[in-house]
A and B are shown apart, each in its own frame.
Chain A
Amino acid sequence: MQAKQKKELMEFACRIRIGIVEEIKARGFGHIGGSLSIADLLAVLYGEIMNYDPKNPKMEDRDKLVCSKGHAGPAVYAALALKGFFPYENLKTLNQPGTNLPSHCDRKKTPGIDMTTGSLGQGTSLAVGIALGDKLKGRNCRTFLIVGDGETNEGQVWEAAMFTAAKKVNNLVWIIDNNKKQLDGYTCDVLNIFNLEEKFRAFGFDAITVDGNDVEQVYEALSRKAIDKPIAIVLNTVKGKGIKEIEEAAGNHSMAPKPEDCDRWLDILHKELAELA
């Protein structure tokens, strides 16, 4: 990856983080930890990997994104706004009455959201169906599925994984945000999911693990082409990534920061952005 390209992706990721904090500042609370952990992934997907048209969000042969950890909606909304799917100002309507940006992703409300998610586990099967449909229609496109590590507690995730490999739905890319935390604490304490890469390999995937907060590693992983087996990418990430204070907070799944907290975090992110530029 060229240095310029990497810098652009890092800038995009930083802007996504700024968007997330602005959304949550406007509403006063929100799912900040798991949104920040996938900012780098979304920067790579929407910055380099995915084929889409913000002016035609329903374009049939576009690449699709299913964020099965639907509570990371604020991260996806920030990426979509920055890419012109809707005005950036709309981000401030997160979870306001009548908004098109609800807590959890909703395909009926938000341009660019390809599937409704929120009840954990369900997005996995939905993504399989979308990818299978594209395959049956002969469309040359991929579906990217983001699954939370805590979400893999749900049995449906493994039903969908089994199906993906058994039926060779190779135009579906599984991405697991392994940020090591879920609502009640560390995944190893709540319900240990052990080694995700090994699990996906055992389920018949071509599975790899990379640093999910390093845009270069994420880009290289997502550039792999599935040959015989579907690809599963385990992203080692940090919940709350980008703002030390949030990373270190015990309960960072959902937070209710004061406006001055958000302003302090926005200062940090804007400084980082200036340094990148």
Chain B
Amino acid sequence: MNVIYTGEMDTRLFKNVIGETISELLREDENVVYLDADLMNCIGTAKLPKETDRAINCGIAEANMIGIACGLSAAGFKPIVHTFGPFASRRCYDQVFLSGGYAGNSITVIGTDPGVTATFNGGTHMPFEDIALYRAIPNAIIVDITDVSMLKDFLRQAKDLPGIKYLRVGRKGSAKVYSEDSHFQIGKGIVLREGKDAAIIACGIMVHEAMQAAEILSQDGIEVAVIDIFTIKPLDVELVKTYARKTGTIVTAENHNKIGGLYSAVKDALDGEAKTGYVAVEDEFGEVGPQDYLQKRFGLTSDHIARKVKETINKK
């Protein structure tokens, strides 16, 4: 795995990569089944049910889809389920929790359009709480996808892992962060940039913002480390603690409510070992708009991160 971050955006879109990878997995592994809730056209998989009976459109019925996926798991399959993030979390929470986790079934849930990436679908479609919900499911694995390379690798890994796996990913593009064919270890964060004055721990779209913030801070003579934590559960507690000790200041950055997400997980892990600050959505509902507007509106930009780092370093 190589870090190739320059700030350049990837021309490939997440939605196409999800669709292509699911198609490949269906071909490669006869135990993979893919279920969707009338959102196949959104990730380019609408043709699949004509090609294989292991691609199933369940219609607009997410609770039923999760239950069927769990039943398929009991029958020996490796179900991959897709719908938008709010419907993959809030709408079917009891089904994921009980029919999935509690009942010992294994499913991979892809929730697209996390947080502000839901843009013009607006507040009804904008999950700022999906990580919080999945974190409360015992032993669930939660990954906030950073780039295309990570998405491909995790889709392949997730299908074979036991239990509940939640992949949180946008449909548009992202900055290129990792080289093609990188392999990622669940629960092991990646240090993208070293720095002695503070560490920014970020996930998802906020990794790019964190890297930009590090540049801004560097111009002011503040050297910050940037960590792509990507697995919110299980959290890389060791890495978080190491950078807390090394720098004394930890700032988290997430496209999620400050309650129950990355900040909450990091703060739990640190238990007062460093000065901490967060860049996250202040306990609010989402709203409609372009992503750059929403990132400013909810305080999720590189400028916000840079300010928060200075503020946190200066905390008594």
Interface residues on A, range: 20 to 34
- Shortest CB distance B62–A (Å): 9
List of A residues within 8 angstroms of B71 by Cβ: 115, 125-133
A124 CA to B66 CA, complexed, in Å: 11
Q: Give the residue of A122, A130, A163 whose beta carbon is less than 8 angstroms from that of B94.
A: A122
Taken residue by residue from 102 to 132, chain A's Cβ proximity to chain B (1 for < 8 Å, 0 otherwise) reads as 0000111000001110110110111111111
- Who on chain A is nearest to B107 by CB? A129
Chain B, 12-71, CB within 8 A of any chain A CB = 33, 53-54, 56, 58-59, 61, 63-71
B side interface size, CB within 8 A: 29
Check B67–A124 contact: CB distance below 8 A: yes
Which residues of chain B are near A155, meaning CB under 8 Å?
63
A167 to B73, CA, bound (A): 18
A159-B64, A163-B64 known; A129 and B75 CB under 8 Å? Answer: yes
| B68 CB contact (under 8 Å) in A118, A121, A132 | A132
- B68 with A134: CB separation less than 8 A: no
In the complex, B128 has a CB within 8 A of chain A: no
Residues of A within 8 A of B75 (CB): 129-130, 132-134, 136-137
Are A136 and B103 in contact, CB atoms less than 8 angstroms apart?
A: no
A160 touches B33 (CB 8 A): no
Asked if B102 is an interface residue, CB under 8 A from chain A, the answer is: yes
Q: Is B7 an interface residue (CB 8 A)?
A: no
Q: Is the CB of B76 within 8 A of A137?
A: yes
B98 touches A122 (CB 8 A): yes
Docked CA distance A166–B56 (Å) = 12
Cα(A128)–Cα(B61), bound, Å: 14
B263 proximal to A (CB < 8 A): no
Q: How far is the CA of A134 from the CA of B102 in the complex (A)?
A: 22
Q: What are 15 residue pairs bridging A and B, where the CB atoms are less than 8 Å apart in the complex?
A: A106-B103, A108-B104, A114-B74, A116-B103, A118-B98, A121-B63, A125-B63, A125-B65, A125-B66, A126-B68, A126-B70, A129-B71, A132-B72, A159-B64, A160-B68
Q: A126-B68, A160-B64, A166-B59 are in contact. List 6 more A-B contacts (CB 8 A).
A: A107-B103, A122-B99, A125-B67, A128-B64, A130-B74, A136-B33
